[in-house]
Amino acid sequence: DGGITQSPKYLFRKEGQNVTLSCEQNLNHDAMYWYRQDPGQGLRLIYYSQIVNDFQKGDIAEGYSVSREKKESFPLTVTSAQKNPTAFYLCASSIRTGDLTDTQYFGPGTRLTVL
Amino acid sequence: GEDVEQSLFLSVREGDSSVINCTYTDSSSTYLYWYKQEPGAGLQLLTYIFSNMDMKQDQRLTVLLNKKDKHLSLRIADTQTGDSAIYFCAESITGGSYIPTFGRGTSLIVHP
């Protein structure tokens, strides 16, 4: 089955620690995205990548970092510099950006709680 | 600029129709999307409509687009308890990266 997987589903972190969220896709999509979702808020774009070894900041990139060493994988690191990291994190992928017909497909999400 | 607005809550009785509304501000919108999010899950694409269309129907779902008023609606016929979820409206615009801008989501509550 083709799809997007995120792990872990739940993650707990102590203040001051970095943590990495995993996102893998086997859809052969070029583009991948990370969003943050807070209660009552829409999705806010953290980072996106259109191609391997390239990525761009979204609207709320501060305190986060990413890498794109493989087409299938786009891990997100939440650093200790992120002031309010407790949230639901969603990964998405699409065939490519910059195309009228491009549609995003989402993973199941990771809920991060900072203790 | 891009801005997508939705009301936050909608409550309907099982078997009735639900209508979820969305307004957007950018007249260059090209594609408009409806996504469904069940509790604790990711977003599932329900349907989308191209800006040169007025209506799109897919089984119980009907999407209406009023470009003059920049208004998009999603009608769910014969609403069931399994339809309880958050519904997100999103738009992508011509000339940009085509990354969608999402509304805050409408929580649909279906009661017996």
pLDDT digits (tens, 9 = 90+) for B40-51: 899 999 999 988
What confidence category does residue A5 fall into, taking pLDDT thresholds of 50, 70 and 90? Answer: very high
CB B58 within 8 A of CB B43: no
pLDDT in tens, A83-98: 899 999 999 999 876 6
Helix (H, G, I), strand (E, B) or coil at B81: helix
- Using alpha carbons, list the distances in angstroms from residue B34 to A82, A85, B62, B77, B91: 30, 27, 11, 15, 9
- Which residue among A45, A99, A109 sits closest to B42, beta carbon to beta carbon? A109
User: What pLDDT is stored for residue A98 in this prediction?
Assistant: 62
What is the 8-class DSSP label of residue B100?
P
Helix (H, G, I), strand (E, B) or coil at A39: coil
> Are the beta carbons of B94 and A100 separated by less than 8 Å?
yes
Q: Phi and psi dihedrals of A104, rounded to 5?
A: -90, 145
> Are the beta carbons of B42 and A111 separated by less than 8 Å?
no
What confidence category does residue B13 fall into, taking pLDDT thresholds of 50, 70 and 90? Answer: very high
Q: In the predicted model, what is the mean pLDDT of chain B?
A: 90
Q: Please list the residues that pair with B22 across neighbouring strands.
A: B6, B72
Across residues B66-71, what is the average pLDDT? 91
Say whether pLDDT at A40 is over 80: no
User: What pLDDT is stored for residue A9 in this prediction?
Assistant: 94
Residue, of B96 and A26, whose pLDDT is higher? A26
Say whether pLDDT at A100 is over 70: no
Say whether pLDDT at B1 is over 50: no
DSSP string over B4-25: EEE-SEEEEETTS-EEEEEEE-
Neighbours of A100 (CB within 10 A): 10
Say whether pLDDT at B95 is over 90: no
Q: Note whether B29 contacts A: Cβ–Cβ < 8 A.
A: no
Q: Distance (Å, rounded) from C-alpha A46 to C-alpha A98? A: 18
